[in-house]
Structure formats: structure tokens, C-alpha cells
Amino acid sequence: MSRVKCPKCQNMERILKAGIIRNKQRYFCKACVYHFIIKKVQKDNNLLPDKPASQVSLQDIASVAGVSITTVSRALKNRPDINIQTREYIKELAKSMNYQPNILAQSLVNKSTHTLGVIIPSLDTTVFSTMLGGIQEVASKAGYRVIICNSNENHETEIANIQGLMNHLIDGLLICHSIQTSSFEHIRIHIGKRIPIVQFYRVANGLPISQILAEDEVGAEKVTDYLIKKGCRRIALLLGPKNLSITQKRFKGYQMSLEKHGINLDIRLLAHVDFLQESVEKALEDWLKINPKIDGIISISDKSAAQIIRLLKKKSIKIPEEINVFGFGNEFTGQIVEPELSTFDTRTRIIGEEAARLIIEQIISGNQEVKSKLISGEIILRGSA
Amino acid sequence: MSRVKCPKCQNMERILKAGIIRNKQRYFCKACVYHFIIKKVQKDNNLLPDKPASQVSLQDIASVAGVSITTVSRALKNRPDINIQTREYIKELAKSMNYQPNILAQSLVNKSTHTLGVIIPSLDTTVFSTMLGGIQEVASKAGYRVIICNSNENHETEIANIQGLMNHLIDGLLICHSIQTSSFEHIRIHIGKRIPIVQFYRVANGLPISQILAEDEVGAEKVTDYLIKKGCRRIALLLGPKNLSITQKRFKGYQMSLEKHGINLDIRLLAHVDFLQESVEKALEDWLKINPKIDGIISISDKSAAQIIRLLKKKSIKIPEEINVFGFGNEFTGQIVEPELSTFDTRTRIIGEEAARLIIEQIISGNQEVKSKLISGEIILRGSA
DNA sequence: ATGAAAGCGCTAACAA
DNA sequence: TTGTTAGCGCTTTCAT
């Protein structure tokens, strides 16, 4: 006969064992139809050296201190409604027991994870890692963690990443679309829910969410203006896939500059590439066959521009005498190539910082008002144009 | 008088209101000393268009389907102990309701988050982003998410990051130490616990955890051998801070090669930098003042090597005729600089892949046996040496 | 085949 | 000032 007393009716007679749950004996009181458990004495971790020591919980501290879990929670949270000595004692105790709060449990209750999700399309160019640097810095200063997912320029991966993150793991999503992404249903279904979304750098227009943008249109226009003023009339433009916002905007800026200067658009001078080295090389080959000859190239990125410069030099084409080359992004590589690369500095890091700032503001305020912010860039002149 | 019945004793007489908890009226039955709550009728979300629709939970599906939460859980988990029609019905229902599991709650119960934590020291060089690419790929193929924290080469940040991640957010930690990190207590306290740790690229020896390493020692030796064979006798070596494992190993390889060839070590030819452009420039200035003159430079990274090449050329020093330059890491920039950079390819991406592979294996197997894996690299000869 | 209930570790509302 | 209890959304054990 068990020596167990029902906590409900105090009966000691009609108690049955009812299995073991999580290492604890479970009982059933027939008198008051009630299941209960008598907790085992706290096991000393030292007695089980083979098992990894489990993290200490509020419960552990509470039993050592002889107070309730609530009191411990209050102490550690510096709540006012607690005796100050109790508080200090518990805080010291927690420290000595090396207590670490379980962020999962906190997040589950608070419905907030203090984590930002970031989807970037690639790590192959420093553009995105620079933006990440900006995001990280602002986020960590504001006490937010960052989960980074790399879509590898793949639409399916982007969708899967978003789905995963949105399952309660993050408080806000920052997204820079992959080059493959041209439908945006996977974004739209999350709009207006609890979790704010901010697009940066590569954005989809037509979605009612905020954006942080580079000065693509104005930048392309300024660069084209500059080249035309320098005497170029046959300016080739290296772009990404047509569905990308930055492609469209840079083309528009380019087009506007041409119009302004009364130069006809020659579509043969436009090339759409997927950022791979081979496709850049192919585009260049095609351009060089065109007559009248090209005298300027505006590249989608500094990386491609640097590549183009190397290729032109191998063909003994003089830069900038025969062909002016202009990049976009102000990456480190532009200072290494010879001649050094003239480029439009899109202030990549600032874009990341602003994106993080905006999403955190939206998370905290709960206000998802649509904002669109343009980060102004500037032309940096070096030897290539 | 309330028209409420105690669910315990069915009494309707001695029921008191006892406050409201989470929007629900709470009652107290004096007869059987029992608190209870009568749930409000399920609110229709459509009636509250101002509040963001909350995610559907198992409970929501259960009430629509008219079954218990358990049954729903079983259905979605494809458990065998469920009627097959029920299962299919519930699965369809879940899909139509756009159910997304709450990963936090799952993780809390399962004590596993299917997430890897990665601490990298910087995003300023492509070395780390390349490793990240490798980690991401292997991780996502194995169904693991990745949380990336950037320590920005700061010891305190590294500690804070680890602490945060270790609070139940991750199943495994991949770490590449910051240049400031020379004490490793913050790592040691986590060793042997539930969460495995793997160091990669920059590691601390003397810690009983696994490592994935580049061929630093052998690589430096091979490179030095090569330069000596080419006729160099005054080879300068650009290193990171002394406490870094890669610094020590590369120095050792260099030293061994010198010894082997009977060349005396001249400590003036050693420079320790922090990866910033200025310190690299400073080191170079100092070297150029030394007599007898240096005839070779082995750089800590391709980025610094490219920088050095540019600086040397500005001083009209011929490469490789007067000074041979060798890099480490095979970064893209080495193909852009002129002359193109000879480098030791450390197979950075593979390091990331292997690190991810190893930690996932340790997570799944629960076996934290200490392994040390060297990723073999190779010399890539281009114009600079 | 299904359901009731405990519990993961925490916070918050309320009672005492 | 402190404790009791419910509940966050899920999984699991046991009973039915």
C-alpha cells in the first residue's frame, strides 16, 4: 500500500499508481477522481556524471532558495514587488548556479523572440555581406539577434526560408529577393500579420510593405550623364535579370540620361546577366562585335566591372581611352583593379543599417505603415572613367 | 447570481467570480474549493479586422474538426495510431487553414531547435562569407537553420553572442574566434554539456572540442619552400595577432622551411597586423627599410596581398622580379590584381562544409568525441610569384 | 483509434 | 511581499 496522500482530498486509502510520467510516479485518487504526481527529491547532478548537466531552471533556483518560481522570476526581472533582500539573494544565487534563462520558453510566453530574420540572395559578392554587417550592428545594439538565410539566388529556397522563419521564430523579416524571384505570393500572404516585413536593395514594387532602396535610378542617370559629358555616345549597360527592380530602375535612369542628351537607345548595348563570370564574359564578347564601337560600359557591380577591365586589358583595349568602365557598389575590388574603378557608391552598409533600423522601429511601435527610403549614393571617380 | 456550474462538483450555488484571466472569466467554487474558467465562445477573427489574424494552432484545427488536440498532432505527425480517414481529413483541413507549427513550442518540448549557431569574426573579407556559404549549404540540406553572429573581431561580442545562442536557441555551435580572443573560459564552460561545439579555421588548441582546420602549417611551409626554390632568401611574413592559432601555425611552417634550407630567421621580417589597411601599409613601409632587402612577401590573406601589390607598384617595385608576393585563401580579388596573385588555396568553402557536417553528425549521434580535421589546400601559381 | 492531462520553462493575474 | 494557478502551443503517456 502506498504511503501517499491525495493533495486534493487528503485521502490516503484509495490511491492507485498510475504510471510514470517524465521520471515521476503518477497517482490516481479514486476518492476524488484526481490524478497527481509526487515529485521525486531533486536529483543531485553530481550523482549522474555520465549525463550532461542540464541547464538550471527557475524551479531549481526556487527549491534551493526555498521560495516559489514566481518570486525567483520577479527577482531576476527586477520587479518592484519583491523584498529587496530576497531579490539580491536570489540574484546572487542565480549567478552562482550559472542560471541562463530559456529563451524559447520566454519567447513562447511573450510572443516575441527578439530576433530578426534576414534573407539574402548570395554571399558571393561583398555587397550583401556589407549590408549584413550594417544589419547586424544596428540589430545587436538594439538587443536583437539575427538569423541569416541565404537563398542562393533560388526562388524555392527563398520561399522555404521565409516559411521557416515566419513560424514564430522572428519578430521581423528583412528580405532582399533572389534573381529568380518574380512572383511574390509567398510574401503577400504574410503582409499585415503580426510580423512586419521590410524589403531592401532588391525590392518588389506593388507590395504594401516598406522598402530601403539604393539610388538606382538617379545613380544610373548620373553615371550616364557623366560618361556622356566625357564624350561617350555608345554606352553599354550590364544589367541583372529583367524582373529585378534594380535592373528596371537602372535602365530607366540610363534611358532618361540618353533622352536628355538626344542619344538614341540601341538595345544591342543592353545585356542581362545572372552575375556569373561566364555570362559577363559572353556579354562583353557580344558588345565588342557591335558597330559603331562601344566607348563606355556601366556594370551592374564592381565585381563584374573589375572582371570586365581584366578582360578588356587582355584584349589590349585601353581603359579609359577606348572604353570607359563604371561600376556600381564601391566594393574593395575596385581599388585593386588597374586602372582603379570609377563607381557609384550605393552606400551598401547604410542600406543594411537603415533596413534594420526601420524594421525594429516597426516591431516596437507595432505600426506597419509603408515607408520607402532612398539611400543617396555618390559617384566616386577613379581611373577607369 | 451567476448561472455557472462547477465542473468538479456540479454545484451551482456557491460559485464566486474570481477575476478575469486572459480575457476569460474565472470562477471559484466554494463547495469543492476549486478554481475554474468557462471559456468564451471562440471569437471569429473576421469580427476583429483591426487585430492581425493570429496564427492557427492545433487547438483551432481541433475545434473545427471536432477532435482533440492530440488527434490533430498525431495526424500531422503521421503517427500510425490514428484512423487513416481522420488523418487525411485533418491534414487537408490543416492545409486549408494554413496551419504553421509553432517552432518555439515544438523546440521547448523536444529540447531541440534544429538550428546551428555560427560565430564568425568578420564579414569584411570573403574568406568568412565563403565559409558561411559552405555551412549554410550543408546545414540546410540536413534540415538545419543557421543563426549567424558576427563578433566583429571583438572578444566581448564573441562572449555575448555565445552566451545568447547557448540559451537553448541552438543544437550546436560553430565558432571561429575573433582576433582579440586569447582566453577561452567562455568556451570551456560549455564543453561537455548538451550542445556540441566545433571550432573552425581559427581555433584554440588545448580545448577538448573538435576542430576543422586549414593547412596552415603545411601551406606556409610549401609556399616558403617554393619561394626559396625560386631564389628568395629574404622572405617577409605578414601574420595576424600572435595569439591566433593560424598565426602560430603559419609561422611554424615558415620557420621549418627556412631551417630546412639553412636560412636564418630574421625577426624583422615578421609582422603582426590586425587586418586593417593601415597596419598592412605600416608593416610594408617597415620592411622596405630593412637591409638586406626583402625579395618575397607571404601575406596572411589575399586581400592584404592585393593591397601590398598595389602599394609596391606605386613605389615602382617590380613584381615578381624584385619582390615575390604570395597570398593565402584564393579570394576573387587575387584574379583582379596585376600581376595576378599566387596564393595558397585553403579551400575555404570546404572548411565551412566540413564544419557543418561534423557538428550535425555530433548533434545527431550525441557523440562529442574530439576530432581534428585538416582540409588540404594547394598552391595556385599566378603572376605574382 | 481517441482523448485527457501533464509538462517543457517561463510570465502574469490574482489571491492571500 | 509572496504564493498559487493558468496558459503560451506543443508532445507524450496513459487510460479508455
What would the grid cell of residue A10 be?
A: 487528503
Beta strand A378-380 with A145-150 is unpaired
Say whether both A339 and A368 belong to one domain: no
| A interface test, pick of B29, B114, B336, B382 with most A CB neighbours within 10 Å | B336
Q: Examine the pLDDT at B200 and tell me if it is beyond 70.
A: yes
**Å: B58 CA to C3 C1':** 14
Whether residue B9 lies within 8 A of chain A, CB to CB, comes out as: no
Mean pLDDT of B226-247: 94
pLDDT digits 0-9 by tens, A308-334: 999 999 999 999 999 999 999 999 999
| Burial of A149 from C-beta contacts in 10 A (0-12 / 13-18 / 19+) | buried
Quote the pLDDT of residue B54: 66
Q: How far apart are CA A348 and CA A339, in angstroms?
A: 23
Residue A6 within a domain? no
**SS3 for A62?**
helix
CA distance A5 to chain B (A): 18
pLDDT score, position A380: 97
Tell me whether residue B230 is in a domain: yes
Per-residue pLDDT at A262 exceeds 50 = yes
Do the strands A172-175 and A115-120 form a parallel or antiparallel pair, or are they unpaired?
parallel
In the listed set A79, A101, A123, which residue is the last one of a domain according to the structure?
A101
Same domain, A191 and A221: no
Q: What is the mean pLDDT of chain A?
A: 86
Output the furthest CA–CA distance in chain A (Å, rounded): 104
CA distance from start to end of chain B: 95
| A20 Cβ nearer than 7 Å to chain D strand | yes
The HSE-up count of residue B245 (CA atoms within 13 Å, CB side) is: 20
What residues have CB less than 8 Å from B71, skipping those under 6 apart? B62, B65, B82, B86, B90
CATH of residue A78: 1.10.260.40
Residue A210 is predicted with a pLDDT of 96
Q: What is the DSSP string of B295-332?
A: -EEE-SSHHHHHHHHHHHHHTT--TTTT-EEEEES--G
B60 and B86 in a single domain? The answer is yes
User: Do B339 and B222 share a structural domain?
Assistant: yes
Average pLDDT over residues B13-41: 44
Question: Are A221 and A208 in a shared domain?
Answer: no
C-beta of residue A298 within 8 angstroms of C-beta of residue A329: no
Would you report the helix, strand and coil content of chain B in percent, each value rounded to 5? 40, 20, 40
Q: What pLDDT score was predicted for residue A222?
A: 97
Residue A301 lies in a domain: yes
Reply yes or no on whether the pLDDT at B115 is more than 70. yes
A11 pLDDT exceeds 80? no
Instruction: Indicate whether B202 pLDDT > 70.
Output: yes
Q: Which range, of A52-61, B47-56, B146-155, B268-277, averages the lowest pLDDT?
A: B47-56
Could you tell me if A356 and A318 lie in one domain? Answer: no
Determine the residue of chain A that is closest to B163 in CA distance: A100
| pLDDT beyond 80 at A282 | yes
CB contact under 8 A, B132 and A113: no
Q: Does A163 touch chain B (CB under 8 A)?
A: yes
Distance from CA of A198 to the nearest CA of B (A): 17
pLDDT for A48 beyond 60:
no
- Provide the strand spans (E) within chain A: 15-21, 24-29, 34-37, 115-120, 145-150, 172-175, 197-200, 210-214, 235-239, 270-272, 296-298, 324-328, 342-345, 372-375, 378-380
Cell numbers 529583367 correspond to A242
The pLDDT of residue B41 is above 60: no
At B182 the pLDDT is 82
Joined together, the cell numbers standing for residue B151 give: 563578433
B136 with B208, same domain: the answer is yes
Please report the residues numbered 61 through 90 in chain B whose beta carbons come closer than 8 angstroms to any beta carbon of chain A: none
Same-domain pairing of A41 and A97: yes
- Tell whether B106 is covered by a domain: no
What integer pLDDT is reported at residue B46 of this predicted model? 31
Average pLDDT over residues A149-175: 92
Confidence of residue B180 (pLDDT cuts 50, 70, 90): confident
Q: Do A103 and B129 lie within an 8 Å CB cutoff?
A: no
Q: Give CA–CA dist B235/B324, Å, rounded.
A: 9
How close, in Å, is residue B252 to chain A by CA atoms?
Answer: 30
The reply to whether B1 falls in a domain is: no
Q: Closest nucleotide (CA of B58 to C1')?
A: D9
CB contact at 8 A, B74 and B62: no
A129 contacts in chain B (CB < 8 Å): 123-124, 126, 129
pLDDT at B194: 85
Mean pLDDT of A334-353: 96
Cα A253–chain centre separation: 28
Structural domain tally of chain A?
3
Would B338 be classed as within a structural domain? Answer: yes
| CATH number, position B289 | 3.40.50.2300
Same-domain pairing of A204 and A228: no
Is B358 found in the same domain as B312? Answer: no
Confidence band for A2, pLDDT divided at 50, 70 and 90: very low
Q: Residue range A178-201: average pLDDT?
A: 90
CA distance B12 to B101: 39
Q: What is the DSSP letter of A329?
A: S
Q: Which domain holds residue B30?
A: 15-101
Residue nearest to nucleotide C13 (CA to C1'): B21
**Confidence at residue A30, expressed as pLDDT on a 0 to 100 scale:** 47
Q: Is B53 part of the contact surface with chain A (CB cutoff 8 Å)?
A: yes
Q: What is the mean pLDDT of residues B309-338?
A: 95
Grid cell 561580442 is found at B157
B152 and B237 part of one domain: no
Mean pLDDT in residue range B18-42: 43
C-alpha to C-alpha distance for B89 and B77, rounded to whole angstroms = 13
Residue of B nearest to A195 (CA): B52
Q: What is the pLDDT of residue A248?
A: 94
Please check whether residue A248 lies inside any domain of the structure: yes
Q: Give me the pLDDT at residue A182, please.
A: 82
Give me the mean pLDDT over the B126-139 stretch.
93
**pLDDT tens sequence across A92-141:** 999 999 899 999 999 999 999 999 999 999 988 899 999 999 999 999 99
User: Which chain A residues are within 8 Å of B157, Cβ to Cβ?
Assistant: 140
Q: What is the pLDDT of residue A54?
A: 66
Chain B CB within 8 Å of residue A98 CB: yes
> What mean pLDDT value characterizes chain B?
86
Question: Is it true that the peptide bond before A101 is cis, omega within 30 degrees of 0?
Answer: no
Domain final position from A101, A119, A145? A101
Domain end: A45, A71, A101, which one? A101
Mean pLDDT confidence for A223-242: 96
**Joined grid coordinates for residue A157:** 529556397
**Using the CB atom, is residue B310 less than 7 Å from strand D?**
no
**Is residue A271 situated within a structural domain?**
yes
The answer to whether residue B260 scores a pLDDT higher than 50 is yes
Q: Best residue in B104, B159, B186, B209 to probe A by mutation, most A CBs within 10 Å? A: B104
pLDDT given at position A23:
37
Q: Domain check: are B132 and B27 in the same one? A: no
More confident of the two residues B219 and B123:
B219
